[in-house]
Amino acid sequence: MTKENEIKKYVQFYSTTLGKRILAQETRFVDEKLRGRKKVLSIGCSPVLLEARLHLLHPDMNIIGLDNSKVMIKQASKEISIVYGAAQHLEFEDSSFDAVSYVTSLEFIQSVQKAIKEAYRVLQLKGLLLVLMINQNSRYFQEKYNNNNSYMRKNIKQKHTNINKIQKVISQYFIIKNEEYFLGINEQEIVDTDDYSNASLYVLEGKRL
């Protein structure tokens, strides 16, 4: 399967019943975390389905997306401004945003250290770093990662599946305000859980000082 076909399959998943439910849950969750923020940079954003929903909820929120896949950007909604670029070399001025988000994207980036350092640079004082990562301890992750043909197995950086290592990198630049687990996925069902073995996502909120 070509890269383009893989990406199309990934995008099409969110038109399925399960995909729609996951997107709705993630949107509500991220909306709460970003409430009151005026200018948000979403890194690894494409196809910006979540960001487009946030824009509908908050037209006054300036959301800019960034992705390093031109193929993925082609699949993106036109409602959100998207730039092509790398998380490790952001082409934005210092203190440009009051929030930077990684929604299941940080674990796919080659150099987490450089990416977090850049997020720190472009954030304003007291700006929010919001990270939603696929939880390596969850049954959902294990099921997907053990499938050699899955998008996750082919694209995730194996060394980045260790949450503790990423916590240490983030703590070099940010005060960690909150950590939690979210969104249980059991086959075709969404489960309300914060248990680390069942929740598909690990969430970290950091504050720039």
pLDDT in tens, 87-117: 999 999 999 999 999 999 998 888 999 999 9
Greater model confidence, 154 or 129: 129
Greater model confidence, 139 or 174: 174
Q: Give the contacts of 144 (CB within 8 A, at least 6 positions apart).
A: 150, 152, 153
Mean pLDDT, all residues of the chain: 89
Q: Which residues of 73-87 are buried (b: 16+ CB within 10 A; e: fewer)?
A: bebbbeebebeeebb
pLDDT value for 1:
47
Query: Is the pLDDT score of 157 beyond 60?
Result: no
Give this prediction's pTM.
Answer: 0.91
Confidence of residue 72 (pLDDT cuts 50, 70, 90): confident
Task: Please report the domains of the chain, with CATH numbers, ordered by start residue.
Answer: 3-208 (3.40.50.150)
Cis omega (within 30 of 0) on the bond before 59? no
